[in-house]
Structure 1
Amino acid sequence: MSLDWIYWGISWILLSWHSIWDAIGVPEDTVLGTNWAWILAIFFLVVTVRVILFPVFVKQIKSQRAMQALQPQVKALQEKHKGDRETLQKEMMELYRKEKANPLMGCLPMFLQIPVFLGLFHVLRRLNPNKGEGAKTLYGWAADQFDSAASAKLFTAPIASKFGSSTQELADLGANGTTVKVIAGVLVLIMIATTYLTSRQMILKTGWAEDPQQRMIQRLMLYGIPASLLISGAIFPIGVIIYWVTNNLFTLGQQQWVLRKYPPPVMTGKNGKPIPGPAARKAASTKAASAKPGTSSRGKGDKDQPETKPAVDGKALAPRPGAKPVNPKKGRPAKRQG
């Protein structure tokens, strides 16, 4: 299946935004070693894609809310069919079908962005000033636009270069190998950190899923994907890493807004009392771990204050009505009289 339609679409959005910034007056020449018109074009490529995918993101949040509301029922099924994995999976799939919840919906926005990522990767990878006129004008590019993008830089590192660029590739782009490795390396680390934070932000708000399949997906997104970027990041052009980092920052802000506007539902236990969320449980466990037997609960400013002993309730020590009085002297051996 040809992916040309993706390359055409990504090129059209990228070139349209570059034309807008060029018309506004953003200089084509480098400022601080950076061609800002192309950097802004990549940034607003992210904005365009996220606006298009916003309805999908809302569906993702609704699906996660539905999955969270089903956690008590999922836990009950796990207790009921403990040791019978096949029956458990059938029962849970029937529960999801009945309640119209999809455990894979949480990954859908990420999967839909994969074609965009691959399209931008392909478009930027082919930015080589030594290509012929026919190659330069593919996917709706003009020759002067191609040459401008091929020479675009971020802090003197070409956006078409990558951490693992060969000597020949660096020579074609007129780039310094050390500079490219430093800029690309820093961006890869930022990409890994922001990818981890986007998953962690959601898990801290919604908690770990009871469903093993859903929990596995959460672990994959939290640890697996950031770890894979440590290796795959070496082959990403700097422009693609800029796209990824910008997309992560956009996701962090969008998730924070949505989670505040639509907070997770309050879960209740069998007794009808609300179950504390992940943050409350963590705070409670930290407080319990810090409280050691025999230690005083006085604050730092109360060091000079004497410790107070618990008051003795006189009523509790008084004999009950109808009970025989207790003689503390009874039972003691009488003193011998000399």
Structure 2
Amino acid sequence: MDIFAFPPLAWLLDAAYRALAGLADLLAPIAGASAAALAVVLVTLLVRALLIPVGISQARAEQTRARLAPRLRELQRRHAKNPERLQREMLELYRSENTSPFAGLLPVLAQAPVVGILYTLFLRSDIAGHPNTLLTHDLFGAPLGTSLVHMLTAGPFSPATLLVSGVLLLIMIVVADLTRRVFRSQQASADDSPLSSPAMLRVMNALHYLTAVFAVFVPLAAAIYLTVTVVWTLVQRVLLRRRYPVPGVRVA
């Protein structure tokens, strides 16, 4: 079933296509065949800039959770034998402070539609009945509509795709490792929310690297979006943590 056959979604996809193609045309005199790739970078920066208020709210929520940590520990001690009561009391405490233990998930959820649209734009040979000219664009010779996995399994083999995808993956892995190292002590000690349990921290650490794994399977255009996003996210988190420090914890 093609969900983009549904008229509202088909209109949204066509509007996104026309906007990105128009931006690529404007950038063509300076970027040539890589104009669409540069357009993806600019769109990513715009999306991330629009999400700055969400990042600020997230940093403030982390501050609040750290401040609530002693009260959460007291609730855990008091209701250790009654998990249901403990959950109710913890949720009530978060509600009274106008925060949530899952506030950090909002930026990820907010970007999911953008990644989905980019994925679809560079996967279809036609959009709303007309040819998809975005597929004619590349980045240093690597087609924006080809994923690394597709190139390796279905061909044709492209050294440019291998090289460009490899560089993007390396950047994502390095940023993931930096993020894990910089914020490891903070995550482990900042609060006692469900996201700070040892099991959940392992999952969250793995998610940093999962972005690189996901990028292997999506078109190169979506991988560019993910690369710019993880770099922006790391820089933003460091700056916001300095602006909204967690008591007793400093950024490494």
Separation of aligned partners in 2, 1:17 and 1:201: 36
- Displacement after TM superposition at 1:212 (Å): 5.2
Residue equivalent to 2:135: 150
Q: Which runs of 5+ in 2 are unaligned?
A: none
**1:253 matches 2:235:** yes
Match of 1:159 in 2: 144
Mapped pair 1:26 → 2:30:
yes
Cα distance, 1:5–1:196 mapped onto 2, change above 3 Å: farther
Q: Which among 55, 60, 63 is matched to residue 61 of structure 2?
A: 63
Match runs of 1:1-338 below 5 Å: 2=6, 3-4=9-10, 6-22=12-28, 25-28=29-32, 35-126=33-124, 128=125, 135=126, 137-138=127-128, 143=131, 146-147=132-133, 149-165=134-150, 170=155, 176-198=157-179, 200-205=181-186, 207-211=188-192, 213-216=194-197, 217-227=200-210, 229-230=212-213, 232-264=214-246, 266=247, 276-277=248-249
Q: Is the deviation greater in 42-51 or in 198-207?
A: 198-207
Tell me the TM-score normalized by structure 2: 0.81
Task: Write the deviation string for residues 1-52 of structure 1: whole angstroms up to 9, x where unpaired.
Answer: 7443552453244234323323xx3142xxxxxx332221011011111122
Cα distance, 1:123 vs structure 2: 0.4
Deviation track 1:233-277 (CA, whole Å, cap 9, x = no partner) reads 33211111111001111112222222222322x3xxxxxxxxx43
Residues 152 and 158, structure 1, Cα contact 8 Å, conserved in 2:
yes
- C-alpha distance in 2 between matches for 1:19 and 1:204: 46
Maintained 8 Å contact 1:198/1:252: yes
Query: Partners in 2 of 1:66 and 1:45 — Cα distance?
Result: 32
CA distance in 2, matches of 1:69, 1:50: 28
Aligned 8 A contact 1:161 1:170 in 2: no
**Match for 1:153: what amino acid?**
D
Q: Cα RMSD between the aligned structures?
A: 2.9
RCO higher in 1 or 2 (8 Å CA, sep ≥ 6)? 2
Structure number, greater radius of gyration: 1
Letter of the 2:43 counterpart: L
Q: Percent identity?
A: 26
Q: For residues 167 and 278 of structure 1, do their structure 2 counterparts lie closer, same or farther at Cα, with a shift above 3 Å needed?
A: closer
Aligned residues: 244
Shift of residue 97, structure 1, vs aligned partner: 1.3
Gaps of 5+ in 1: 29-34, 129-134, 267-275, 281-338
Are the counterparts in 1 of residues 187 and 201 from structure 2 also a CA contact under 8 Å? no
